[in-house]
Amino acid sequence: MILSLVNVKGGVGKTTTAVNLAATFAASDLRVLLVDLDPQGSASFSLGIDRDDGEASMADVLVDGVPAREALRPTEIEGLDLLTGSMELAGSELGLARKRDPHLLLRRALQPVRRRYDAIVIDCPPGLSILTINGLAASAAYILPVVPHDLAHEALDRFFGGWERLERSLRAKPRLLGILLNMVDKRTHLTTAMVDQIRQSYGRRVFRAEIPINVRLAEAPAYGMSIFQYERWSTGAQAYRLLGAEVLRRARTAGIL
């Protein structure tokens, strides 16, 4: 299973979800690879990996053709490896665009290592840049995190509209595994109303599991830990366990795991 976390907006919890889903899969005895495609390298930072330590990163893999196996990094979580992000990715788009089939660079790079893993999770940057398109083109499915506020519908519509136009020109048809309601604050009437509205509009495409606003989830990345390492019995950890189980069920039903 190769799975991307995507959205046109930043600040919707893509990285938190990528890291903690990957950790959930590893806890289920799956061999997991987390691919950090974001130039900010937040997924790498969240797992305690120094983004500027001079080791090979995704920029080296995509731009310079370094084999992915030479850039693999173990993490403190058993069964979870990492391909790190780096700031060099931010200036790589022009160079990537000049390559043959630039949207397929990640798919080709992962091909030699994909049999090592049961699941590959890709943390994409915001928007539909060449990096995000690479993540989607390499994936069998994607998850779309969204924060239920008054601009949530606009962000969903922008993503689906932009991706639908791109799909026509790309040899890639990843399926939507689910829309994830993230950073949900049920203490406000506006959030509750937006959650109901999104569920009514998108039906079964929305995961049943929801990720609440949780202080422990916000704190864990600063310590280089997943939520399960940092506070395994927190509300956030319990929510990600439920989400992980639901993602695996949907993936098996869809025949991608």
Q: How many other CB atoms are found less than 10 A from the CB of residue 69?
A: 11
**Quick check: 18 and 34 in contact, CB under 8 A?**
yes
How sure is the predictor about 186, in pLDDT bands with cuts at 50, 70 and 90? confident
The Cα 244–Cα 227 span in angstroms is 13
Share of the chain above pLDDT 90, in %: 72
Q: Residue range 123-151: average pLDDT?
A: 91
CATH of the domain at 165: 3.40.50.300
**Quick check: 59 and 46 in contact, CB under 8 A?**
no
Which residue did the predictor score with more confidence, 229 or 170? 229
**Closest by Cα among 34, 31, 30 to 42:** 34
Residue found under tokens 């600063």: 222
| Residue 51 in this model has a pLDDT that exceeds 70 | no
Q: Determine the structural domain holding residue 249 and report its residue range.
A: 2-254
25-50, pLDDT tens digit by residue? 999 999 999 999 999 899 999 999 97
How sure is the predictor about 167, in pLDDT bands with cuts at 50, 70 and 90? confident
Res 95: pLDDT: 78
* DSSP 8-state code for residue 205: G
The Cα 92–Cα 72 span in angstroms is 20
10-21, pLDDT tens digit by residue? 889 999 999 999
| Residue 237 in this model has a pLDDT that exceeds 80 | yes
Residue found under tokens 């699941």: 119
Q: What is the mean pLDDT of the chain?
A: 91
Separate counts of helices (H) and strands (E) for the chain: 12, 8
Q: Residue range 94-122: average pLDDT?
A: 91
Res 52: pLDDT: 66
Torsion of CA 107, 43, 167, 94, to 10 degrees: -80
The Cα 8–Cα 31 span in angstroms is 29
What is the pTM assigned to this prediction?
Answer: 0.94
The Cα 213–Cα 28 span in angstroms is 25
The Cα 17–Cα 105 span in angstroms is 24
Domain count, the chain: 1
End-to-end CA gap in the chain = 5
Q: Residue range 63-89: average pLDDT?
A: 94
Q: Residue range 221-226: average pLDDT?
A: 95
